[in-house]
Chains A and B, each alone.
Chain A
Amino acid sequence: MKDIVILTDDRLAEAQQVRDALIERGWRVETIPRTICLWDEAGLSAWAAPFSGEIAGVIHPAPTPILGAIEAVSEAQWRRAADEGPMAAWCVTKVFCDRMKANGGGSMIYLNSIHAEKPVGHGALFSMGCAAAQMLCKEVNQDYGEFGVRAFFIQKGITGSDPDARSPVSNLYYGVDLRYPARRLPEAGYLNALVAFLLTPGSAALAGSDLMADGGMVQYYTHRRQVEGRPYYEWPK
């Protein structure tokens, strides 16, 4: 039985929670060591070789966001964002989808961000990478779907443990908790059951789905300048 789930990066709090929840449910989760470069195809292939026949799914979280006004972005930041974002997503996809294709299929889960569709403000580098991964997910379903590989793109929102929520760079997150219907940020862990479901045959009809799992954040919009006495939004100064 295929029972191995590959987690490509465990720096994100939600990814850690998902890993622990999957282990509790009986999955064997293998986390790629941080010493392995995710956009080095040869190195990644060598690391994956021992698991080839047993991979049920792969979880690929979005990289740590790089925020900043377009004119403030350095060449080093540009290169890092390209490597950690789209280049890593493509390399992980190629290495693991080929293996799942050869062994009857599996789930390729991009644990990504609402910023694949919603701008963050001073976040072009990050959002561009998210949108690129979103299109990669759609193309994976075209290229690998007939071989039983199902790709999913989860647009996660901001959580209480997310450093973005208190970013000094983007005022778009100012008062972000007020945008949630529940008026509070969801905690890491709300994605656990969703990811587990996507790894099982019960989700077979969801192939290629773009899943908004943000606690209702981007659906909730208010014209009010203030909510409960606090400014709802201020443009960056």
Chain B
Amino acid sequence: MNGQSDARVALVTGGGKGVGAGVVKVLAERDVRCCINCNTNPAMAEQTRKAVEAAGGEAFVYRADITDAGQLQAMVDAVIDRWGRLDILVNNAAMQLNRFIDQYDYATLRRLWEINIGGYFHAARVCLPHLRKSPCGRIVNICSIHGKRPTGFDAGYAMTKGAIRMFTRELALELYADGITVNAVDLGGCRIEFKTGNAPISAFNPLDCHNPGLMAPRMVTPRDVGELVWFLCGPEASAITGDGIRVDKGLILV
């Protein structure tokens, strides 16, 4: 066990690729040691780890299904065994199926619910005993503008993102007395490699929005998200809790 360092420790679910990888890279650049959780794509998670280490950071990859409470607990135990502490939980792993209401069945919607909100809920539960010991405990839930604005192409996904919005507020209220802040990042129009469970988006193109000028010259990147997560995890953000901060380059401003 290596618990002597003052460097903080973060667990990023779905940290191997996309938004999660962006968060991992930004945190690691600033001396936060990261556990990169992955499930379906360990090869990309390894690439992220190598990129972190090449930049002088410290990270390890742990493969776990976030819908399985036992696997989540084992992952947190591995973090504690390795570094002796856990200060930051970034809930990020999710899937987006892009289906209309009548294209869902119970099993599919239930599976989506267990990943997109169940994973966040259970990860927070197993991390809490350690976050309470941290001088700067932080939970950041990566959410979406779909938790606020309907788009007409995935009701199931929007339901789970709405649930994250309220999960964030409830947990903020519950944990404020412990000094743990809980915030959400409402992400919109982010350019990533691909989304888990993604199908072609036929009904919506972010670049067709009402204010395309605000999108130029580029869409939101995973690094943009990482920068906000870094700020929310710092001591300067200790008064911000229960919030949902939009990172969409103005996509749903009008």
Binding between chains A and B = yes
Q: Interface on A for B, CB 8 Å cutoff? A: 39-41, 69-71, 73, 75, 78, 82, 86-87, 89-91, 93-94, 97-98, 115-124, 127-136, 138-143, 172, 235-236
- Complex Cα distance, B154 from A7, in Å, reads 26
Does A87 lie within 8 Å of B109, measured CB to CB?
A: yes
Say which residue of A70, A132, A136 sits within 8 Å of B124 (CB atoms): A70
Contact A128 B150 (CB under 8 A): no
Nearest-neighbour CB distance to chain B for A182, whole angstroms, equals 26
Taken together as a complex, chains A and B put the C-alpha atoms of A40 and B106 apart, in Å, by 8
* Chain B interface SS verdict (over half): helix
User: Nearest chain B CB to A12's CB is how many angstroms away?
Assistant: 19
Add 14 more A-B contacts to A41-B105, A115-B166, A130-B166 (CB < 8 A): A39-B106, A70-B125, A73-B125, A78-B118, A78-B121, A86-B113, A97-B101, A124-B167, A131-B147, A135-B155, A136-B101, A139-B150, A139-B152, A141-B150
Q: Given A87-B106, A121-B174, are A143 and B101 neighbors across the interface (CB < 8 Å)?
A: yes
Asked whether B45 is an interface residue with its Cβ less than 8 Å from the other chain, the reply is: no
- The 7 A-B residue pairs with the shortest CB-CB distance, nearest first, are A142-B152, A135-B162, A139-B155, A138-B150, A131-B166, A132-B159, A128-B163
User: In the complex, A142→B149 CA distance in Å?
Assistant: 11
Residues of B near A119 (CB, < 8 A) are: 166, 169-170, 172-173, 242
In this assembly, does B117 line the interface, its C-beta being within 8 Å of a C-beta of chain A? yes
> CB-CB contacts of B166-186 with A at 8 A, as 1s and 0s?
110111111001000000000
B162 in contact with A93 (CB, 8 Å): no
Q: Is B151 an interface residue (CB 8 A)?
A: yes
A interface: dominant SS: helix
Asked if residues B106 and A235 are in contact (CB atoms below 8 Å), the reply is no
B252, chain A: closest CB distance, angstroms? 12
**A82–B113 touching, CB < 8 Å:** yes
CA distance A94 to B156 in the complex (A): 12
Q: Which residues of B come within 8 Å of A, CB atoms?
A: 69, 100-102, 104-106, 109-110, 113-114, 117-118, 121, 124-125, 128, 146-147, 149-152, 154-156, 158-167, 169-174, 177, 242
CB distance from A194 to the nearest CB of B (A): 22
Interface contact A135-B147, CB-CB below 8 Å: yes
Using known A-B contacts A97-B101, A119-B166, A143-B101, determine if residue A90 contacts B242 with beta carbons closer than 8 Å.
no
Q: How far is the CA of A91 from the CA of B159 in the complex (A)?
A: 13
Considering only CB atoms, which chain B residue lies closest to A121 in the complex? B173
Contact B159 A136 (CB under 8 A): yes
Measured CA separation A133–B150 after assembly (Å): 12
A197 to B163, CA, bound (A): 29
CB distance from B72 to the nearest CB of A (A): 13
CA distance A73 to B170 in the complex (A): 14
Q: Are A71 and B166 neighbours in the complex by a CB distance under 8 Å? A: no
In the assembly, what is the distance between CA of A119 and CA of B244, in Å?
14
Compute how far the CA of A138 lies from the CA of B100 in the bound complex, rounded to whole angstroms: 13
Set of chain A residues within 8 Å of B125, measured between Cβ atoms: 70-71, 73
Bound form: Cα–Cα A119–B176 in Å: 13
Which A residues lie within 8 Å of B170 (CB)?
Answer: 119-124, 127-128
Provide the residues of chain B in CB contact with A127, threshold 8 Å: 166-167, 169-170
| B105, closest chain A residue (CB) | A41
| A143 CB contacts on chain B under 8 angstroms | 100-102, 152, 155
